[in-house]
Amino acid sequence: MPALAEIIFTFGNYQFTRSMLILTLFAALMIAASISMIKKSKIKNPAAGKSGHNYTLIFIEGIIVGMLTGFVGAGGGFLIIPALVLLAGLPMKEAVGTSLLIIAVKSLIGFAGDLSAGVNIDWMFLFLVSLFTVTGIYIGSSLTKKIPGEKLKPAFGWFVLVMGIYIMLRETIFKS
């Protein structure tokens, strides 16, 4: 990313910067992922009736998701879930759980790296975020028993779509 110019282009008084480009690409990825989740699939579950998973495809999607999320500097939950559902054929609830485990491992590795590098940690902020997260996990766990997985997929897609559009508008049109 340092190879990119700080100002990509200007149009009158409007400047499109490197950070705007990155967040716009991030939002575009979110929108693309959300559309794939919202669309009704003609196949109920691509892996139905198969014994096992296509590990080559899973490896390739992991590398692609890792590269994309590394490029935009964000987690990959919004990409991991559609990839697991659409390409690996996992049910929505399994994809969410798998994505959360992947994110937890990535976060733990990043946190350990920050600790070993001597980064100053705001422990109170970390505690509060962790507390809210655990509370959300318990609420989500109780809700998942009441909401079928086939309804979660488009709901997640719509949520990611709204967030993608919001980020896109905030970074391009409403940037001051």
According to the model, what pLDDT value does residue 49 have? 43
Cα–Cα distance, 33 to 78 (Å, whole number)? 7
Supply the mean pLDDT for the chain: 81
Q: What is the pLDDT of residues 54-92, one digit of tens each?
A: 788 888 888 887 787 777 666 677 778 877 887 778 888
CB 27 within 8 A of CB 165: yes
Cα–Cα distance, 23 to 173 (Å, whole number)? 13
Cα–Cα distance, 19 to 21 (Å, whole number)? 5
CB 29 within 8 A of CB 68: yes
Q: What is the pLDDT of residues 102-135, one digit of tens each?
A: 888 888 888 899 899 999 999 999 999 999 989 9
CB 22 within 8 A of CB 72: yes
Q: pTM, whole model, 2 decimals? A: 0.63
Cα–Cα distance, 131 to 51 (Å, whole number)? 39
Q: For the purposes of burial, counting CB atoms within 10 Å of the CB of 175, is it exposed (0-12), middle (13-18) or buried (19 or more)?
A: middle
Cα–Cα distance, 75 to 88 (Å, whole number)? 19
Cα–Cα distance, 140 to 96 (Å, whole number)? 11
